[in-house]
Amino acid sequence: MKPYLLQTLKELALLGAIRNKIELSSHELAKQLETSQQTASRYLLELDTQQMITRELGVKKQLIQITSIGADLLENAYLSYKQIFDLSTKVAFKGKLISGMGEGKYYTEQKGYADQFKKQLGFVAHPGTFNVEIEYIERNKLRLLRNCGGILINEFQAENRTFGNVVCFKATINGYKGAIVLPKRSHYAIVLECISPYYLREKLGLHDGDEVEVIVYLQ
């Protein structure tokens, strides 16, 4: 999607073209976009070709309406901005499934953790963790999790050692309910350890290396 076409679509939407047909000449659009009539005309042609708008050309003006394809594009852009500014809600991560070394199973089976998961998250975690290595480009986002509180799981003693504090966030993993688990200590993990009431590998039919989307709910 060319940025200037999205921009144009946005202007059309601001004039009400999502809900109604609007009467608009290429000259008027040009003024709005601070460009030439020719360029505005070309933009409209491009949007039309890509089926983002419908047009009815009259002798004087044209009636323009944004199609559902165009509206979807705008909505996506909107959701991005929402993610930026209404940070309270959620953050999406993309990554790929990797194997742990069995330690996930060891920890999640500790009664001290399991009982708290049940109480704080509302589900009994399937033994083991579902580990998603976050894409390089998205690792910056991980920092956000460190600044956003989350659900505290308290440390406890068992088997002659201490199991440390852990922070959780509710999450969905490819749409399935679950949570992510962050050891309070480790600073720059690039892996999200997910727990869930389901055996996710089976439920999602995924193997090592497959793409996974994790949506983390920050509050």
Partner DNA sequence: ATTACTAAGCAGCGAGTAA
Partner DNA sequence: TTTACTCGCTGCTTAGTAA
Task: Please identify which residue in the block is written with the tokens 């979807």.
Answer: 72
Enumerate residues 6+ apart whose C-beta is below 8 A from 6: 73, 74, 77
84 binds a second copy (CB under 8 A): yes
88 binds a second copy (CB under 8 A): no
19 binds a second copy (CB under 8 A): yes
List the beta bridge partners of residue 90: 217
Polymer length in residues for the chain? 219
49, 59, 60, 85: residue in contact with a second copy (rule CB under 8 A): 85
Phi, psi of 46 (to 5 degrees): -65, -45
Number of residues that bind a second copy (CB under 8 A): 37
4: tokens are 């200037």
138 binds a second copy (CB under 8 A): yes
Task: Please identify which residue in the block is written with the tokens 């500014």.
Answer: 85
158: tokens are 């068992």
Based on its alpha-carbon atoms, the radius of gyration of the chain, rounded to whole angstroms, reads: 24
Using the minimum distance from each CB to DNA, give the nearer residue, 33 or 218: 33
Smallest gap from Cβ 15 to a second copy, in A, equals 4
Using the minimum distance from each CB to DNA, give the nearer residue, 39 or 165: 39
CA 39 to CA 60: how far, in whole Å?
A: 18
Contact present, 22 and 44 (Cβ < 8 Å) = no
Smallest gap from Cβ 35 to DNA, in A, equals 4
Using the minimum distance from each CB to DNA, give the nearer residue, 13 or 53: 53
Which residues here bind DNA, judged by CB under 7 A? Answer: 2, 4, 24-28, 35-39, 41-45, 57, 59-62
Residues lying near a second copy in the complex (CB under 8 A) are found at 3-4, 6-7, 10, 13-20, 22-24, 28, 31-32, 74-75, 77-78, 80-85, 136-138, 140-141, 143-144, 147
